Structure 1
Amino acid sequence: MKRQYVSSLAESCYHDAEKLLGETIASRNHGLAEIERWLCKEQPNIHMQNDVRYIIYFLRTTKYDVDKAKRKIFMYFKIRADRTEWFQNRDPFLPELQELLDIGVFLPLRQKDAHNRQVVIIRTAAHNPKRHSQDNVFKVDKMILDLLLYLDETISIYGIVAIFDMKHVTLSHALQLPPSLIKRTVESWENYPCRPQLLEFVNAPIHVNVVLNVFRSFMSAKMKSRVKISRRGTHVSKVVNLPPELGGTGDSYHDLTEHWKRKVQEHAFWFAETEQFKLHLS
């Protein structure tokens, strides 16, 4: 079935998409046609959303390099099939997920920064390692990120800034991240249909450098160049109003937690429906 892209963003967004990503009507139509043909003829086992925006998302992440987009699409849907611990049983009303939603481990801000980028705060040490598995933490993180991309197409143009708040991180938190899990995590970041522009680690004690160095070892050169470690404050505070917990006057962690828990619960049916989208091995 041929999917059609319907322009729905402000004209200024398409102007920025051309400037930042080389997107034009012609490049978009060509890329879309090539990916559609490839999915139909060569990759029938990839079960992808009918929402054509997802193909556009991958094209934007690769600045319309169609071959790179194909590789990312294949890897992304393979990861969704392989990592069942992250992408299956995504019922927000499960007790173990309810607890993490109540804690607020992944908190997108409700205002964009001065560059129209989506800022998300990842509270790496908010959960209790003795009670909450790291895989369930990652599951909730990805549920909210997926919902963000579904609700807001502009993220695929301007990208994401991730602030990792490491306040109160302990050895028990670090021990939840063996190299094998870190490798899978970075692989997922590298192939997600969004554009990470900055990964900033704040409130990071010196001893956490060991774990951060393992993360870096699995990153591409481009992603490594976007990692910042801030002992005090954050570079992002210059371009967006952060929560009081990070020195700003924006929405608090509590308010953001309540907002995103409600949003996730409202989309419980959508999460169940999207579990089918993955590489189906014959």
Structure 2
Amino acid sequence: MTVEYTDCITLSEETAELAEKELRENEATRRHGLQQVRDWIVKNPRIVHCRDDENFLLRFLRAKKFSAPMAEEALERYLLLRQSWAAAFNNMDCTLPNMKHLIDAGYLFAAPGRDKYGRRWIIARPGVFDPHKFTNEDMCRIHGLVYETLLEDSESQVRGFVHFADGAGVSFPHITLFTPKEAVRIVKNGERTLPMRHKQVYGINVHPSLKYVLDFGLSLISDKIRKRVKIYSSMEEASDEIDTNMLPKEYGGVIPMSEMIEKFKEELMAMRAKLLSHDEMKVRLEMFSEGARVGSVTALKQGSALTCGGRTLDTTLCGSFRKLEVD
């Protein structure tokens, strides 16, 4: 049985119950939240164009447990990130040669099906990324491509995701793809801006020499997410504690990795046109601070004055207008 809402967005009955329990989502909160965010988009002078369909807006509302102001904050950050780092976050096309190569190599893909909690599993194998052949823009783009594809599914917006990463083959050149400042902003944006529910993170085969990098990365994320991260020295150690049925056959599962990748490529192709249409979303960059335009992650303060060219804008039209400050 499914629960159907407006715009033909459906959730299974079990998922709808979970959404109400964990996210405070029901017909009333959905209707109110969607209307509030849509009104905010129309009245926000910094937004030129943004998707306003239910599927797109609900991912932000769900990620923020139907706090419309927090969802609006995340949405504005998201739009700014896509545009200010356009080289990495625009043109999310799975048919681009570099994307095809990384997908076929199994750098990043989602396993078919769901685990017993209804979650999709995302498999990452960073060691197959050749840092001498590909750039940090390629790395950002393929992560965006995979995550955006998966977020189009309303069940996954509620149920969330499990991440499994194999660190075999990762070396110092991988670490130097990003400057420390870029790394900080990517990690923070990954948690605060991308509207994904990260339910569990598993890592294996992390070389001891890279432990300081891992510790640094963990220091940047919230306590909530940090507690969901589990690192194992090998697959043998991990196999007793994780659901290997969700993993490729090469990691103790049933389905060969190559078959998983081919199935996921079908998902990517099905969403290709929609993801490319995201490039039409625009904000007025001149209305943001320089720090914000380069990806600085800060709180958007509710009720603060919006300024542009030294002129204070009237915020009485919408209580959700904010000033993006630099951290």
Same fold (TM over 0.5): yes
Equivalence for 2:281: 277
Q: Secondary structure at the match of 2:47?
A: coil
Equivalence for 1:252: 256
TM-superposed CA distance for 1:262, in Å, is: 4.2
Equivalence for 1:155: 156
CA–CA distance in structure 2, aligned partners of residues 53 and 263 of structure 1? 17
Matched, 1:70 2:66: no
Q: Secondary structure at the match of 2:247?
A: coil
TM-superposed CA distance for 1:11, in Å, is: 2.0
CA–CA distance in structure 1, aligned partners of residues 228 and 177 of structure 2? 24
Aligned residues: 277
Equivalence for 2:213: 211
> What RMSD, in angstroms, separates the aligned Cα atoms of the two structures?
2.1
- What pairs up with 1:187-202 in 2 under 5 angstroms? 187-190=188-191, 191-202=193-204
Alpha-carbon displacement from aligned partner over 1:59-91 (angstroms, at most 9, x marks no partner): 111111222111111111111111112222333
Matched, 1:225 2:227: yes
Among 32, 35, 54, the alignment partner of 2:34 is 32
CA 1:163 to 1:223, structure 2 compared with 1: closer, same or farther past 3 Å? Answer: same
Alpha-carbon displacement from aligned partner over 1:178-198 (angstroms, at most 9, x marks no partner): 322322321331211221112
Equivalence for 1:243: 248
CA–CA distance in structure 1, aligned partners of residues 211 and 48 of structure 2? 38
Which structure has the higher relative contact order (CA within 8 Å, separation 6+)? 1
Matched, 1:186 2:187: yes
TM-score by length of 1: 0.89
Equivalence for 1:175: 176
Q: Which runs of 5+ in 1 are unaligned?
A: none
Q: Which amino acid aligns with 2:251?
A: L
- On the 8 A contact 2:121/2:246 being kept in 1, the answer is no
CA–CA distance in structure 1, aligned partners of residues 48 and 157 of structure 2? 21
TM-score by length of 2: 0.78
Alpha-carbon displacement from aligned partner over 1:235-259 (angstroms, at most 9, x marks no partner): 763374311222222x222222223
TM-superposed CA distance for 1:94, in Å, is: 2.6
CA–CA distance in structure 2, aligned partners of residues 219 and 46 of structure 1? 31
Equivalence for 1:53: 55
Q: Secondary structure at the match of 1:9?
A: strand
- On the 8 A contact 1:105/1:137 being kept in 2, the answer is no
Q: Which amino acid aligns with 1:238?
A: D
- On the 8 A contact 1:47/1:277 being kept in 2, the answer is yes
- On the 8 A contact 2:103/2:109 being kept in 1, the answer is no
CA 1:213 to 1:279, structure 2 compared with 1: closer, same or farther past 3 Å? Answer: farther
Q: Which amino acid aligns with 2:172?
A: L
Alpha-carbon displacement from aligned partner over 1:206-228 (angstroms, at most 9, x marks no partner): 22211112212322232222222
% of aligned pairs identical? 25
TM-superposed CA distance for 1:266, in Å, is: 4.8
CA 1:30 to 1:269, structure 2 compared with 1: closer, same or farther past 3 Å? Answer: closer
Q: Secondary structure at the match of 1:237?
A: coil
Greater Cα shift, 236-245 or 108-117? 236-245
CA 1:68 to 1:266, structure 2 compared with 1: closer, same or farther past 3 Å? Answer: closer
Flag as ranges the 4+ runs of structure 1 deviating above 4 A.
none
- On the 8 A contact 2:102/2:129 being kept in 1, the answer is yes
TM-superposed CA distance for 1:96, in Å, is: 2.2
Matched, 1:19 2:21: yes
- On the 8 A contact 1:80/1:279 being kept in 2, the answer is no
TM-superposed CA distance for 1:14, in Å, is: 1.0
CA–CA distance in structure 2, aligned partners of residues 202 and 184 of structure 1? 24
Q: Secondary structure at the match of 1:143?
A: helix
TM-superposed CA distance for 1:261, in Å, is: 3.2
Structure number having the greater strand percentage: 2
- On the 8 A contact 1:107/1:253 being kept in 2, the answer is no
Equivalence for 2:305: none
TM-superposed CA distance for 1:114, in Å, is: 1.2
CA–CA distance in structure 2, aligned partners of residues 213 and 72 of structure 1? 26
CA–CA distance in structure 1, aligned partners of residues 64 and 244 of structure 2? 25
CA–CA distance in structure 2, aligned partners of residues 279 and 228 of structure 1? 38
